[in-house]
Amino acid sequence: MNKKILVIEDEREIAELIAYALQKDSFQVDIALDGKEALSKLKEEVYDLVVLDLMLPYVQGLEICKFIRNNPNMQNTGIIIVTAKGEELDRIMGLEMGADDYVTKPFSPRELTARIKAVLRRTKSETVAQVIKIGDITIDKEKYLVTVKGTPIRLSATEFKLLLYLAERPNKIFSRDHLLDAVWGQDIYVDSRTVDVHIRRLRMKIEKDPDNPEYLKTMRGIGYYIEA
């Protein structure tokens, strides 16, 4: 099945030029000409990759990048941000929010297509891996099984989702609010301290010394991460 790409670009001519080049390469392409239209399409469809201009009407590109990365259904969606030459800070912020790559205007359709294919290859190889190993911890995504030194560990569904989310992004620090959105969902209201409770439970189950964790670390004042 052909990969589906959303081009979010407020300049219609550029958007159509990108779409034409990608369609010639057998990609399925949708276009959104502003931030509101982009969010509407993203809520209706899961795309393999998004080409995201940062300077958009109504909703800025960085907000859309954040929306994608906070949505558990879009964790495998690639993001390539498009910036003008003077937008270095926005480009850096986009990469920090989870964008996979960037191109700077003006760019050639051939360069963009090559970068898209590279990101899609990367995300495909990441999704193929069904077993994650970090030290003595093994997480089997298909079997919903976690073992420590070969011993199965009983986890609740939420504990498993939280551990898996962090393990798939080792050494990356996430705030409580980010984890609430990613694991519990944006439409569910729970107190941010719920994350602390689940982290503590996980440490009791997977750490040799929960008070001095080897894997599930805290960055004081910022959030949590798994150290690989």
In a shared domain, residues 75 and 51: yes
Encode the chain (228 residues) as per-residue pLDDT tens digits: 578 999 999 999 999 999 999 999 889 999 999 999 999 999 888 899 999 998 899 999 899 998 988 887 787 889 999 887 666 777 788 787 788 888 888 888 888 898 899 888 876 655 555 788 899 999 988 778 899 998 999 988 899 999 999 998 888 899 988 898 888 876 666 677 889 999 999 999 999 999 999 999 999 888 999 987
In a shared domain, residues 40 and 115: yes
Among 38, 121, 45, residue whose Cα is nearest residue 81: 38
In a shared domain, residues 44 and 123: yes
Token pair listed for 142:
């298909």
Please tell me the distance from the alpha carbon of residue 55 to that of residue 165, in angstroms, as a whole number: 30
- Residue ending a domain, choose from 128, 155, 171: 128
In a shared domain, residues 88 and 143: no
In a shared domain, residues 119 and 12: yes
In a shared domain, residues 116 and 13: yes
In the chain, alpha helices (H): 12-24, 35-44, 61-69, 88-96, 109-128, 157-167, 176-179, 193-206
List the domain range (segments joined by +) for residue 144: 131-226
In a shared domain, residues 93 and 202: no
Please indicate, yes or no, whether the overall pTM of this predicted structure exceeds 0.75. no
In a shared domain, residues 76 and 151: no
In a shared domain, residues 99 and 197: no
In a shared domain, residues 80 and 162: no
